[in-house]
């Protein structure tokens, strides 16, 4: 199948993301348009502490209108490597530095309309090492035993897609460690 980009225009240049409208010629010759959210790549971290807990954060998500239980995550800054971002974010969000940061996979968050790619890291050897949190983040740190966290995910009690995908990608490695 061949899709041909005819034209692309920025329709909203935002602080956190940009919306672009692409006009495409489809393989059958028809044309259509796609609205695409351009977003920097990001990381999601699966932090496993020495007691066998996964360290989550709970935060209010206005779009969902809920406090959600999530794994620590954040946007990769321009020029920053994904692992460096993961090391920074885990310190900012849960106040712990990782002795070991292991890449376990990645995924597109919403490939139907967004360019955001998330890199997944397993963080172990956690020690105190807080960094100042982002000024607009109000996070509650929640360590949860691994078995309970997986049960919450399996039972639909963690409605955050990045956390679910990260748990799935890290699950085999987690079972080897605990």
- Give the residue numbers marked as catalytic: 137
Q: What is the DSSP string of the chain?
A: ---EEEEEEEEEE-SS-EEEEEEEE-TTS-EEEEEEEE---EEEEEEB-TTSEEEEEEEEETTTTEEEEE--EEEPPTT--HHHHHHHHHHHHHSEEEEEEEEEEEEES-TTTB--EEEEEEEEEEEE---PPPTT---EEEEEEHHHHHHHHHTT----HHHHHHHHHHHHHHHHH-
């Amino acid at each position: 199948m061949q899709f041909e980009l005819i034209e692309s225009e920025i329709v909203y240049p935002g602080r956190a993301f940009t919306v672009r409208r692409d006009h495409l010629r489809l393989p059958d010759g028809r044309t259509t348009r796609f609205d695409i959210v351009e977003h920097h790549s990001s990381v999601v971290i699966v932090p496993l502490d020495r007691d066998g807990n996964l360290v989550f954060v709970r935060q209010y998500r206005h779009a969902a209108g809920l406090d959600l239980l999530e794994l620590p995550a954040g946007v990769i800054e321009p020029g920053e490597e994904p692992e460096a971002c993961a090391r920074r974010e885990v310190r900012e969000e849960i106040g712990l530095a990782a002795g070991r940061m292991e890449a376990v996979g990645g995924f597109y968050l919403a490939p139907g309309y967004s360019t955001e790619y998330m890199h997944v890291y397993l963080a172990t050897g956690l020690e105190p090492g807080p960094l100042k949190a982002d000024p607009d983040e109000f996070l509650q740190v929640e360590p949860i035993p691994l078995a309970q966290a997986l049960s919450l995910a399996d039972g639909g009690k963690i409605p955050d897609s990045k956390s679910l995908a990260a748990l799935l990608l890290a699950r085999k490695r987690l079972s080897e460690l605990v």
